[in-house]
Amino acid sequence: MKRIILISVLLFYAVIANTQIPYTPAPENLKAREWFQDAKFGMFIHWGVYSTLADGEWVMNNQRIDKQTYQKLPSFFNPIGFDAKEWVSIAKSAGMKYITITTKHHDGFAMWDSKLTDWDIVDRTPYGKDIIRMLADECKKEGIKLFFYHSHLDWFQENYFPRGNTGQSSGRPDSGDWYKYLDFMDGQLAELLTSYGDIGGIWFDGHWDKKKSDWRLDKTYNLIHSLQPACMIGNNHHLAPFPGEDFQMFEKDLPGNKTTGFNTEQEIGKLPFETCETMNNSWGFNLQDKNYKSTKNLIQYLVKAAGYNSNFLLNVGPMPDGRIQPEFVNTLGELGKWMEKYGETVYGTRGGPVSPRTWGVTTQKDNVVYLHILNLEDPNLLIPDFGVKVKKVTSFSTGAQLKYRQDAFGIAIAVPADIIDETDTVIAIEL
Ligand code: FHN
């Protein structure tokens, strides 16, 4: 009898251990999600030793540089122009509320003082300082939330084996212990979440390199949430969200548009959204990439994202000397001026009652719906009725009341020529 009881107890625990407990976000995590959705605009920073080659963050893979050769790069990395204060001030004056920085990109190089490897900025570069520490301190001082981009994919670690679709020319042996790699990754994440204060979120990337592998995401996600329950997890796997995630990102695309080719399987979930985009065509510093997006284009991208109920994370790839290139700084300054005037129609809003159209998008805060007209085709705009009585329609920039009619056919609004702004004509509908 005793034996039967013992076996039953053991069986019970074996079942419990293998049962996945559904993820219930902590109250502080739900609060963080609200904050995130209100914040709307963040700065993405791709920076690493690859910037010395001025050919983007994929240079190790694209130029087929083996690991031995790539290890020369840290000795060229001496960013004496890096000033955390300057970066945070550029982000703040652009109207950005948070920063997401690459702690480790696919080359595996740690931009903080990792105790688990010497493949890091403090141990390998003449600069020898922990830029994550300096940035974290400055962000805290200035009220900017800090998020960490962290690459699952690693072209440097030998235990990242079997290898995935990329990093094939890194010259690593054809053997390695995958679970040791995952332990190492969890260890590095634990360092990042226990030494740099409150972290807004972890922005994973690179899962797509080995989609079929056992990534042990539950363990990693549980670790993050147990160390910092409010820390939001997002994973750029280009799929529908996995359990344990707190936001969903869309790379170079608006939620659901599936225009990039690599996100055809990406279904929209119920989590807060974030769209990320580059200011030229590169994430990491690229000397030859002069395809700078105009201020108008970027404002319209930000506004469209808001209309899709999404944040906008705009990337800069700082130069090897640590400065953000002047072309980006100028454009960000112009975005900041626009946000000073129109921020009210973006911050704290959610996607409005009329879904995105060819003429533009809507956002809403409390009893005000903002029409963002990005491409007006006719002097009168007819929008579908959304079932609430309109009290007043005004031009957001001039305050002038506009003529409108609300009936069974929808809401028709007269848009006079003198309020038209070719970047974004904002109309406020008071309900
Ligand atoms: O390979 C990366 C790329 O370098 C960059 O970090 C972007 C940012 O969204 N994500 C990956 C590609 O999906």
| CA nearest to 352, candidates 426, 277, 420, 416 | 426
Q: Does any ligand 1 atom lie closer than 6 A to the CB of residue 276?
A: yes
Once rounded to an integer, what is the mean pLDDT over residues 117-137?
98
For a substitution probing ligand 1, which of 205, 209, 237, 276 has the most ligand atoms within 8 Å of its CB? 205
The torsion angle over the Cα atoms of residues 312, 233, 158 and 132, rounded to 10 degrees, is: 70
- Which amino acid, residue 57? E
Lowest mean pLDDT among 49-63, 260-274, 327-341: 260-274
Closest C-alpha to 394, from 359, 358, 369, 360: 369
Q: Find the 133 Cα to ligand 1 centroid distance in Å.
A: 23
Bond from prior residue into 27 cis (ω within 30 degrees of 0):
no
Distance 17 CA to ligand 1 centre (A): 35
| pLDDT band at residue 312 using 50, 70 and 90 as cut-offs | very high
d(CA 232, ligand 1 centre) in Å: 19
Residue 12 pLDDT grade (very low, low, confident, very high; cuts 50, 70, 90) = very low
Query: Ligand 1, atom 1: nearest CA belongs to which residue?
Result: 206
d(CA 330, ligand 1 centre) in Å: 24
Residue 153 and residue 161 in contact, taking contact as beta carbons nearer than 8 Å: no
For the stretch 387-410, pLDDT in tens is: 999 999 999 999 999 999 999 999
CB-based contact 54:320 (threshold 8 Å):
yes
Structure tokens at 213: 């592998």
Please check whether residue 121 is in contact with residue 112, taking contact to mean a CB–CB distance below 8 angstroms: yes
Q: Could you say which DSSP state residue 74 is in?
A: G
pLDDT at residue 206 in the model = 98
Between residues 144 and 15, the one the model is more confident about: 144
Tokens of 42: 């963040």
pLDDT score of 262 more than 90:
no
Atom of ligand 1 nearest to the CA of 238: 13
The CA distance from 235 to 242, in Å, is 8
What confidence tier does 18 reach under pLDDT thresholds 50, 70, 90? very low
Across the strands, what pairs with 286? Answer: 55
Is residue 328 lining ligand 1, measured as CB closer than 6 Å? no
Q: What is the identity of the amino acid at 348?
A: G
CA-nearest residue, atom 6 of ligand 1:
283
Residue 400 tokens, joined: 């002038």
pLDDT (0 to 100) of residue 65: 98
The band of 20, judged by pLDDT with boundaries at 50, 70 and 90, is low
Kindly state the average pLDDT of the residues 121-150.
98
CB 338 within 8 A of CB 302: no
Confidence of residue 261 (pLDDT cuts 50, 70, 90): confident
pLDDT score recorded for residue 179: 98
Range with the poorest average pLDDT among 2-6, 259-263, 285-289 = 2-6
Q: Kindly tell me if the per-residue pLDDT of 149 is higher than 60.
A: yes
Q: Which residues of 6-16 are buried (b: 16+ CB within 10 A; e: fewer)?
A: eeeeeeeeeee
Whether pLDDT at 10 is above 50: no
Atom of ligand 1 nearest to the CA of 283: 5
Q: How confident is the model at residue 21 (pLDDT cuts 50, 70, 90)?
A: confident
Question: Which residue out of 283, 285, 314 has the highest number of ligand 1 atoms within 8 Å of its CB and is therefore the one to mutate?
Answer: 283
| Residue 57 near ligand 1, beta carbon < 6 Å | yes
Give pTM, 2 decimals: 0.95
Q: Average pLDDT, stretch 193-201?
A: 98
**Residue 242 DSSP class:** P
